[in-house]
Amino acid sequence: MTELMTGPASEREPAFWYAIPHGYMQLDLNPPVEQIEGLVRQVLNLPDEMRYRAEEVLRFYAGVVTSLNANRVQACLIGSHPDDAGGIAFSVLTVSTVPAAGVNAKLVIASLAGTAATNHDEGMRPLELPCGSGFIAEKKLVTTAPGRPSEGSDTPPQGQVWQGTVALTGTGTPDIIMLQLVTASVDLADDYRNILLGVAHTVTFTDPSLPAAGSSPEPEHGTVAAMVRSDFG
């Protein structure tokens, strides 16, 4: 399990934990100043033809980290898995918190889960998770794709992505926890949905490092909670 801090270590204790699925690498959202300074020195020492591209990558990384932190993203994980065509499918999994702003987070989730149960057209459905109630929502979006505009056009290329979101809360936090998975491999949506649900089923508000009252067996084979242990369930 990987602990998730809901604030700086000096301010708050970890409030919830979750498992990182196979094939995902966590992006450092709070790199130490010394590490950034070291990267800058390395970039400045590169030959001119290489330094320009390296500076672009460094600026992109800094912009992504700044944006994620501004949106209360607690963790960002980059996934790579083999696809059916012999290539690599990439995805991004983020975990964030949304303040309930003076209202009961459990009531907010219960209300949205109730809406999901009666409004299937929105791609939502309620979830019963080990840590409590929640809901999952999924949709396909058209967004800017990597690459340069076609010749004679200023419009950036467009591509389709699948986006799945799970919202949940529990007694360990006054906030709403959002798990979101995005991939351009739309044809693998079923597999990525299993990964997202698998992570959601591992969320706990009990510190896994504490001695358990009883035995703590592995998730039963074939259950959604166990799917997170394999690349695509």
Q: What average pLDDT does the segment 80-97 reach?
A: 89
Regarding beta strands 73-82 and 88-98, do their DSSP bridges make them parallel or antiparallel, or are they unpaired?
A: antiparallel
The answer to whether position 159 is within a domain reads yes
Q: Is the pLDDT of residue 57 over 50?
A: yes
Helix (H) or strand (E) holding 192: helix 189-202
Give CA–CA dist 92/182, Å, rounded: 5
CATH number at residue 160: 2.60.120.1690
Q: What average pLDDT does the segment 75-85 reach?
A: 89
The answer to whether position 58 is within a domain reads no
Give CA–CA dist 125/102, Å, rounded: 25
pLDDT tens per residue across span 184-195:
999 999 999 999
The answer to whether position 115 is within a domain reads yes
Averaged pLDDT score across all residues of the chain: 78
Helix (H) or strand (E) holding 37: helix 33-44
Give CA–CA dist 55/43, Å, rounded: 7
The answer to whether position 15 is within a domain reads yes
Q: Is the pLDDT of residue 225 over 70?
A: no
Least confident of 1-10, 37-46, 75-84, 216-225: 1-10
The answer to whether position 47 is within a domain reads no
148: domain range?
Answer: 2-28+75-210+218-227
Helix (H) or strand (E) holding 94: strand 88-98
DSSP conformation class of 207: -
The answer to whether position 206 is within a domain reads yes
The answer to whether position 120 is within a domain reads yes
Counted domains in the chain? 1
pLDDT tens per residue across span 122-169:
578 888 899 888 889 999 988 776 656 666 666 777 788 999 999 988
